[in-house]
Structure 1
Amino acid sequence: MTQSREQIVSRVTEALKGEASPVAIRGARKIDARGVQDHSWVVSNASGVIVATGTNEEEFESACRSVSIDPADETAVIDAKGRILTPGYVDIHAHGAWEHSFDDGPEGIDIARAGHAVHGTTRQVLSLITNPVDVIKRNVANVRAKMDERPDVLGAHLEGPFLALARKGAHDPECLKDPVPELVDELLDAADGCIRQITIAPELPHGISAIKQFAAAGVVPAVGHCDADYETAKLGFDAGAGIMTHMFNAMNGLHHRKPGPIPAAVEDPRVIIELINDGFHVQNPMVRLGFDFAPHRIAFVTDAMAATDCPDGPYKLGALDVNVVDGHARLVSNGAIAGSTLLLEVAVKRAVLELGFEAPAAVEAATLTPAKAFGFDRPNPVTGAPLGLVAPGFAADILLTDPATWTVGEVWCAGRKLV
């Protein structure tokens, strides 16, 4: 019998709050940012960390025994039967799924995370929309609490309130603010270290000073939802911004006499560039162009709202009414694009099967590159083991995926079986 969503949420939530177990998988086609390796195996330990990978059968058996798995036990060893094995996907910009957003309190976070987890997104930075400051502070505190409960929640991304009115998109104009130092301090105090990213329009009166202030506090500022020109965006990156929020969307476009912020990000090797590969926010020719702009620095993101993995119809984005038609979300009030219904599983699938990207590059954009935005590709205090590769010492975030359809079938996060 097919499980209900309530049952899936419960299973995923309990697994993430539980302990890791050793994992042994053989007979896979391993694909990560380092390339493709057929007839691969991977073994992880009871701490949820990969201890060995390879293709040699004797080494596999030795690795199994090192974590107390009998390599001859067919119930303990998973035969991938040629399926694709990749790192778990890492989404650094998403707002929700399954009719809930990450602004909807602890239960909303559990439900929306399950909606992404079952499709292979093993780690997520939870994006919070523009709201009154007191509401943002409450929502950040909820994210902070979830980080202490489970390993899949990496922290918060504040997409607002420091956005340009002219480029607000679906954000509430009544709640937009100039990032004066006192307000920055207020948000940092409320977050207790859980803010990973904050999108800022650098041309705001205190935009550059706020970028410096957040960067000094260990937050990665992002240039986006801005009306900035090339020079101002460059000042933002030089001040400490390390991300461009969803390139092409909610910013000045490319122009031969008015370059805008995009070339400033492309030219700067310090900057990770978000890209929504859904063919709607960014149409395919521009996805191809954008992906080639900055090799190894393009991070697929979803910008997914509550309607993700749900039927078309009316939804809410904060207090704003949204209508979803053919999977595309727009504000009822003015027709503005209101986030997406994209999954990283679909972004990778589109890249490989529709756009013809090399599989390692497509996987890298959903794994290693977003991890790099926050230093999660190295040992760190948040995740412990690094993310983004199937390699010894990395977290046992593992997906088994159908090679024909790129549909995710089995999912582990830090050695915890989710699907």
Structure 2
Amino acid sequence: MTTDTTDVLVVGGGPVGLFLGVLLAARGTDVQVWERRTTDPVGSRAIGIHPPSLDAFAEVGLAEAVLAEAVLVRTGVARSRGRVLGTLSFDRASDSHPYVATLDQHRTETLLRERLGAGAPGALRTGTSLVGLTRHRDHVGASGIDRDGRPITLRASFVVGADGARSVVRDLLGIGTTGRDHQDRYVMGDFADPEDPGARSAALVDVGPDGVVESFPLPGGRRRYVALLSGDDALMDPAASATAVDAPETERASRLAEIVRARTGVAPDATTCSMLSAFGVRRRTADRVGVGRVVLVGDAAHEISPIGGQGMNLGWLDAAELAPLLADAVRTGAAGPWPAYARRRQAAARRAGRQAEANMALGRAVPDVVGIGREALLRSVLALPTARALARLYAMAWA
């Protein structure tokens, strides 16, 4: 068996692994990206692209391509029981990108694949799974299975685990995680946008007493709705009952549309639903981010609540900081400064995790009297000049 060689092997060809590959290729670093999926990217999944990520994209010529397809969300509107509580503007959240962009994840991944293919033809190997790692003083040996079921081996100066919350790289290194699972469960779906025309470029957050409904515009006149589930809604929650798994998708789409209508007064057309997914929330942090010449990024290193839409962006910012470190280490023969990198990136993940948990707390179902107090608090906060700082916080200007 012939052993191939590369400077950096990135395990995981999702949005974070692809972006790291693009960044490394732009620096002249030889890179391979192993992705176990054989199909093209599909689905909308994560949609928010924050200003710091757009700045990082701009460094490799990706921002223009993303922005050409994305919706630019310039305001966030808080509502409850049919009333507007206040508006948050992103006009000062970033000097370069005073908005949050929304784009279906499959389109973002496709643009990243195209850019990687242009910068490093053949770098992406789909249908390839990692099965083993052997660490040495000056390199890492990786073994895998290719799309035809044949064993392959690779010698890399560095290996990066960008393979998600169930990271094989992390498991092979024997790195554990700490954290907790939350009780909160949500359902999300994409529909034809039923909002008034004046709200169709805004993110909307309804914090009524029955639980939060968030929504975000998407390209093509669509809107993503995310709703907190009540504890007894087994139809919508796959973790609660086998009935939910067996329920027809049209029935579940109708149920989500009804939840949105009951809480917000806006009625999405269930027949236009193009994506539906229920999910739980957990927060996990890897006990270590790097071992020798192997390092973790994105959800492999830190998993946070999807509420707030910061997880994918955290991974991109991990990649943006890691890429020059790897390129320099390859050039100089250094082993890599993982402790300093780990401290900075895990601190950023802790901050984002705390913010996501605060968002969840703000959107939980509460008695009417508590809901009235919550509405009054939000009105006050959004009316103050300090709301600008809140906009910067939600747009990840701190990252």
TM-score bin (small chain): under 0.3
Structure ranking higher in strand proportion: 2
Structure ranking higher in helix proportion: 2
| TM-score normalized with structure 2 length | 0.25
Based on CA coordinates, which of the two structures has the bigger radius of gyration? 2
